Each structure stands twice: as structure tokens, then as C-alpha cells.
Amino acid sequence: AVNLIKKFEGFSSSPYKCPSSLWTISYGSIFGLDGNRVDGNHRAVTQEEGDTLLRRDLKRTEVAVARLLKQPITLNQFSATVSLVFNIGSGNFQKSQIRMRLNRRDYLGAADIWWQWRRGGGRILAGLVKRREEEKQLFLKDE
């Protein structure tokens, strides 16, 4: 999950607006080191601070995925799902058909609709198409 997130989020020391118009910093963090929402006036972060933000956000995402899934999944399925949820948010994942299918142990059915989460700011983004494909391949990969 870490490698996928770093690859597709990219690192930015300065705040920027993501395609969904949210202020973001580091590897897609919407909350700064102080726990407050990032805005356009947020100070630049160092690579080390960015890594700290990523670890914090990953832990939160992992906890959310573990809480929302009631059925067993493999480590690769968990990593792919964490990458997805890191990007779309736990609220969107909670309402998603992917989560519902995973909780019914319909693992192939969940993988088959992974592509549905390829929009940002209301439009299909090439980067999200690639990300969802790589996440799906990881999800389907045998341990």
C-alpha cells in the first residue's frame, strides 16, 4: 500500500488543491501535523514531516478498513483496499459496493467493480484509472 500511495499521490512539500478541490500536502494529507485541515496558507513540510503525515494517515486508513470489513481478506487484498480507501476516504468506502461485496466474501465481484472509483472532481482521471488497475492487480495477486 505504501508504495502504491507514494507512487500515485506523489510528494508535495507545499499545499495544493487535489482534483476534488481539497487542500492537500505531502502524500495527499488533508490534515497537517497539528491535526487541523490543510489550507492554502499551510507552511511547507519537509520530506521527514511528510513521511510522518503518511504514516499517521496510513494508520488511520488501516484502522478504518479493519473496522469496516467483517470478513477475512489476504494481506494483498488488505494493502490494495488501504490504497483505495486512502484515496477515496473511509466514508465513501463505507457506502461502496466494493465494501459490501467484500463483506459478502464476493472477492472477485469486488475486484470487478474496482474501476468505478476512477473519478476526481467529477471526471475520469487517467492517473486514477492506472491506480485502480494497479490496486486491482495487487488485490488479485496470490500471496
Of 21, 74, 99, 19, nearest to 8 (Cα)?
19
Classified as helix, coil or strand, 123 is strand
Active site residue 18: yes
Q: Which of 18, 49, 62, 134 is catalytic?
A: 18
87 touches 131 (CB < 8 A): yes
How far is the C-alpha of 34 from the C-alpha of 25, rounded, in Å?
Answer: 13
Active site residue 62: no
How far is the C-alpha of 43 from the C-alpha of 130, rounded, in Å?
Answer: 31
Catalytic residues: 9, 18
